[in-house]
Copies of this chain bind each other. A is one copy, B any other.
C-alpha cells in the first residue's frame, strides 16, 4: 500500500510526461486509406497549379486588343477558328479578329490573352464559318486562371504532422500521391483492472459492474490517432496483472492501465512498477477528477496508470495521454484546444484542486458559452457522453457564477493547442 502521496501541479505533471515523448516513424498507405492520418512529410507542389494558363469558364479565348472599341453601339465580330475541350491542346494560334471556342479547364491557346464568357457573346454561322459578336471591351488577363496562381512549384503547402482532411487529400491527388507517407500510429496497450469488472457480454452480478473504461479509453485512443492492443481484463491478482503489464510493455509503444492506482488494499500497480524497475514520475496530481493518475517510465516507454473511476479515467487520458499520441504523430499542437467561454449556470462548489468539469460548449452568435453536464463526480459515466469540452476551474477558487469567463478545453476538436492548460496562481501549499 502506498504511503501518503504528494500531489504535484497539473502543469508539472504534463511537463514530466512530455519529457518522455517520442516521435513515430513513417509508413506508406494508399491514398484511399489516408483519411484522418497524419502526414509524415511536408506536402510540396511538384508543379505549378494550375499547370498552364486555363479558362475558368465555358466561352471564347480572344485577343483583348480586338475588343478595344467594342461597345453595344459598336459590336465587334470575331471568327471562331478552333474549339478546345478540357484536356485538349489547340495547335491553332489565334490572330487578329479571331477567337477559339474554349471549355472550362482547357488551356488558353497561343495568341489569346483573355476569355469572354459564352453568355456574353452572340454566335452565328455564315456558310461553314462561325462568328461571335462582342459588345464590350475585355481586358487582358480577364477570365484566365494563370499558371501557378493557386500554388507555385516547390511551394510547401502543408506541413508534416498535418491531419489529412478532404482538402489535403485533394492536394495529395493533385500532386500524384497514389501512396501517401503517414506517421505510423502508436500501438497502445489497454489493460483494465479490477475484480469488480464484468465483460461487456456478461450479466450483472451483485457488487460488480461491466468494464466500460476499457472501451471508453479505446475510443479516446482512436480519436487521438493511436491504434489499440487489448489485454485481458485481469481480476485484482498481482501475478497475472504483472504478466499482462510486462507483455504489454514488450508489445506496445505505450501502455494504459485503468484502476489499481489508488490506496486500496488491492491496488497493485505501484508494486508492479517496482518489480518492473519503472521510474514513477508521479502518483498524485492536484486535480479533480483524476488525482490518483500515476505515470511511470520503463526503459523509455510510458505506462499510464489511469483511475478506475470513469470520469477520472477520461480526464486523465485527455490531459496526459492525448498529447503524447499527438506529439508522436508530429502534431505541432498536441494539446487539447483551449478557449474561453461564458458560464451559463452557477457552479458554486469550492475547488481545492483544479477541477475539470465535463461540460458542453456552444456558440451564441460570435461568443462561446459553456454549461456543466450531469453530475460532477469522478465515478460518473453518463456525463462523459454528453460533454464536448472540459471546463477548467483553477484550484484555490471558491465558485463560479453565470456570466463568468472560464477556461475550456475542447474534446471534439482536431486542431489542438501548442501549449497545455497550466495553473496560473501559486499557492503556498499543495
Contacts and interface: CB of A to CB of B under 8 A. Distances in A.
Interface in A374-420: 374-375, 377-388, 405, 412-415
A417 to B, nearest CB: 10
A85 B170 contact: no
Given A167-B381, A174-B381, 4 more contacts: A166-B220, A169-B219, A339-B365, A367-B367
18 contacts: A52-B206, A56-B377, A58-B267, A87-B195, A87-B196, A87-B236, A89-B207, A104-B264, A150-B381, A151-B381, A157-B382, A165-B219, A166-B223, A167-B387, A170-B385, A173-B215, A338-B363, A340-B365
B412 A49 contact: no
Interface in A256-303: 262-267
Nearest to A85: B266
A242 to B, nearest CB: 18
A310 interface: yes
Contacts of A384: 166-167, 170
A216 interface: yes
Contacts of A107: 206-207
A160 to B, nearest CB: 14
Interface of A: 4, 31-32, 35, 47, 49-52, 54, 56-58, 83, 85-89, 101, 103-107, 118-119, 145, 149-151, 157-158, 164-178, 194-197, 199-204, 206-220, 222-223, 235-236, 262-267, 308-310, 314, 337-342, 363, 365-368, 374-375, 377-388, 405, 412-415
Contacts of A177: 200
Contact of A200 (B56, B106, B173, B222): B173
B106 A262 contact: no
Contacts of A56: 309, 377-379
A150 B195 contact: no
